[in-house]
Structure 1
Amino acid sequence: MKNIVIKILMMLLVVIGLVLLFYSTDDFDDLEEPEEATRTEVQHVNPELTEGAGQYIGKSIDDWTADFGYPERIYAGDNKYEHYIYQANTAYYDVRVRDDKIGMIYAAGIDADISPFKVNQRAAEIYQGTFIDTEPVIKTEDGEYSFELTEVDMKTQPLIKYGKVFAQVYVDQQTDKVMGVRYMTAPLLVQMLPYTAHLNGKPLERTMNREQSILTQLNERETLAEIINMIRASSDIHQLELYQPVTKELCQRNTPGVSKSKAYDSGEAVNMWLNTERQLILNNRFSRVQAEASDCYAARYLNK
């Protein structure tokens, strides 16, 4: 009789143990769920830039000139911004300044300091350890601007955010090499609209305001030729002489052998042509270039 009682007690203990184990497992699951939820909410963020031209975005132009000196020329641009142009044999910077603050920098040339990138670097390398949001959203007083990077964008002009600074990386699709970078603030990215964009869910159509003074057009014309030469230099191709006569016929006529674009600026125009009309921009048979920056950006390549 005693043995039977002991057996019954042991069976009861086993049953109680199984019940406790079952419910304790559920409790552990409940504890783990918030951790999993927390992990899914973690946002990928690239570190702020501490080197290269991009670190000056949002800073005073005095900080820039303290390190880079004074520009070769300054001219008025859109929306009360001024262009500070720096040109060396192998480095080019177009710095946009408003109220003494730097809002945008376009940089090209093999010695341009575009950290964390390098001109002629393999573009595939920038994806390693770098977070790229293909659908970035910018909140403004007007609402939410949502951008969408297409497959072509990812191959030719991926957008990478470092802290509050956006870096638009220009890539030669044929060689898969970095050719330049544009650093900018969120407001100037909204102004530029280089990608498919929506405002509060409604599609936006990009429009370019080309109402500029003659002096600005002449400076933009020079900038266009300089960037063309900088891109050619990065590909080890000789420089082109700027053909001096100023004309608007390049934008007004459909002339064969002329590169034309309704781009945001000279830098964007040249990098677009690199991927669409490289047989002209990188042709080593030409010795001169006729540039125009009026109703559009245009370039005609000439022989002497």
Structure 2
Amino acid sequence: MKTFLRSLPLIFIMLLATYWLPEVISRNPADIITPKEESEIIQSESFDYQTTDLEPEKLPVAGLGSYVGQKIENFTEKFGNPKRIDPTVYEEESWIFGKDETDYAQLIVKNGIITDLFVLGSELDVAPFKIGMSITEVFQLASFYPTYSVENQGEQLTLELTESDLNYRPLIAFDNQTFAVLMMDRSTNQIIAVRYLDSPSLIRLGVYDDGSKKHLIPSFEVDEIRQDAINEANQKQAYEILNILRQRYELSALTPSDALTGVAETIFTNQGEQIIADRQADKESSFSETETSDNAIKNQNSSIETFILDDNSDSIDEQTNQPYQTLTSEQIERTLQETELELNEVRVLYSIQETDVAWLATNWFSLEIERNFLMDASMTEIGLFYRANDMLLILH
């Protein structure tokens, strides 16, 4: 009996270890976390902040942000000449500096004045912030506000930020009437780029709701020769930015492929030819053009990973600055089936681009599907083709 009583504490400890300890361990998310679970944990942390309806705080301008509004000569005196100067649709110049993950930057220059400065390089000065800074550290430096009053050409506009904007594209105001957009990586909740802009550039970028889309439409015509030059510049910038971000996450660079670019161009060409054929058949069969268009828009189940990105809730085809019909997954897959590409080895990303490449590429990293798509380690080649505001990107 004494032996049994002496053994009771040991039995209790054994029962404790058998039933209670595993339950505690199973509740500890740090032991085994799948990538999906890790992403969910990180994303849930990103919502732990307080916004205020007070007048937005204006931080003292510092770092590269202080060059917005200055002459481009002030910048080149310190950082040297750009590696190239690209044309833009707004008849400004895009000055490209740097070559890799540490020093890449783009400046928009209008009449010799810097109006927009996109910083991607991890070693460049974006004080008071830093590339790679976590959202928690950002909260300690600045408050996030859901509305901003911005003056543009004598008109006062109110920008309204959504919850997604506040988490992945927060806006910061500075005391020199300029702004910074912090581009956050959805998976790491770290800053991957900082975009400094003056008020007109921020309005024209059109990424925050101001109740109007009129600023997105260029007020001038772009001739075919200039448009080709702009498309080529956009293509180069997309390759650079995406490969720099892959480099940052220790992934191999994507090799530009003329063959994939050719496939992307053919997809647009085939769509145009199919539309003409459909309209002709429509006339012959006395069906209305509206019925034919409606049928064409219905996507069938696709065996290829195709993401159609549309930043606007309105119908793209109804917008005055979108001269072409929106591509469908069915149209894209139909052309791909005519190539030698294996559909399960191809990724296609289609976008109606109403913002510039710098915004588009970094904003993809705030979207889970698109980020995973671009960070696919098995992809080695990239092709990209533009048709006016349409952009088609193919990875293989």
Offset at residue 267 of structure 1 (A)? 1.4
CA contact (8 A) 2:352 2:391 kept: yes
1:134-161 C-alpha deviation (Å, 9 max, x unpaired): 2001123452211100100011100001
In the alignment, is residue 106 of structure 1 matched against residue 118 of structure 2?
Answer: yes
Give the secondary structure class of the aligned counterpart of 2:122.
Answer: coil
Show the counterpart of 2:235.
221
Instruction: Compute the RMSD of aligned alpha carbons.
Output: 2.3
- What percentage of residue pairs aligned between the two structures are identical? 20
Q: Choose between structure 1 and 2: higher helix proportion.
A: 2
Show the counterpart of 1:132.
144
Which residues of 2 match residues 177-256 of structure 1 at below 5 A? Answer: 177-198=190-211, 203-204=212-213, 207=216, 211=222, 213-244=227-258, 246-247=261-262, 248-249=265-266, 253=327, 254=329, 255=332
**CA gap 1:172/1:49 in 2 versus in 1, 3 angstroms:** same
**CA gap 1:62/1:168 in 2 versus in 1, 3 angstroms:** same
The whole-number CA distance in structure 2 between the counterparts of 1:189 and 1:282 is 28
Which residues of 2 match residues 43-192 of structure 1 at below 5 A? Answer: 45-51=57-63, 53-90=64-101, 91-141=103-153, 143-163=155-175, 164-192=177-205
CA contact (8 A) 2:132 2:191 kept: yes
**CA gap 1:249/1:142 in 2 versus in 1, 3 angstroms:** farther
Offset at residue 89 of structure 1 (A)? 2.2
Show the counterpart of 1:267.
358
Offset at residue 205 of structure 1 (A)? 6.3
Give the secondary structure class of the aligned counterpart of 2:141.
Answer: coil
| Structure 1 counterpart of 2:395, from 283, 296, 301 | 301
- In structure 2, stretches of 5+ residues that fail to align are 1-53, 272-326, 334-346
In terms of Rg, which structure is larger?
1
The whole-number CA distance in structure 1 between the counterparts of 2:194 and 2:173 is 12
Offset at residue 120 of structure 1 (A)? 1.9
Q: Choose between structure 1 and 2: higher strand proportion.
A: 1
The whole-number CA distance in structure 2 between the counterparts of 1:100 and 1:55 is 16
The whole-number CA distance in structure 2 between the counterparts of 1:70 and 1:287 is 32
The whole-number CA distance in structure 1 between the counterparts of 2:241 and 2:229 is 19
**CA gap 1:226/1:127 in 2 versus in 1, 3 angstroms:** same
Show the counterpart of 2:380.
287
CA contact (8 A) 1:240 1:286 kept: yes
Q: How many pairs are equivalent?
A: 256
Give the secondary structure class of the aligned counterpart of 1:64.
Answer: helix
**CA gap 1:192/1:291 in 2 versus in 1, 3 angstroms:** same
CA contact (8 A) 1:95 1:105 kept: yes
Show the counterpart of 1:6.
none
The whole-number CA distance in structure 2 between the counterparts of 1:293 and 1:85 is 20
Structure-1-length-normalised TM-score: 0.77
CA contact (8 A) 2:56 2:173 kept: no
**CA gap 1:208/1:271 in 2 versus in 1, 3 angstroms:** farther
Judge which range, 186-195 or 232-241, deviates more. 232-241
Corresponding letter in the other structure for 2:87: A
- In structure 1, stretches of 5+ residues that fail to align are 1-41
The whole-number CA distance in structure 2 between the counterparts of 1:117 and 1:250 is 42
**CA gap 1:182/1:58 in 2 versus in 1, 3 angstroms:** same
CA contact (8 A) 2:68 2:114 kept: yes
Corresponding letter in the other structure for 2:382: V
CA contact (8 A) 2:235 2:385 kept: yes
1:14-43 C-alpha deviation (Å, 9 max, x unpaired): xxxxxxxxxxxxxxxxxxxxxxxxxxxx95
Offset at residue 250 of structure 1 (A)? 5.8
The whole-number CA distance in structure 2 between the counterparts of 1:239 and 1:102 is 30
**CA gap 1:44/1:135 in 2 versus in 1, 3 angstroms:** closer
Structure-2-length-normalised TM-score: 0.60
The whole-number CA distance in structure 1 between the counterparts of 2:152 and 2:364 is 32
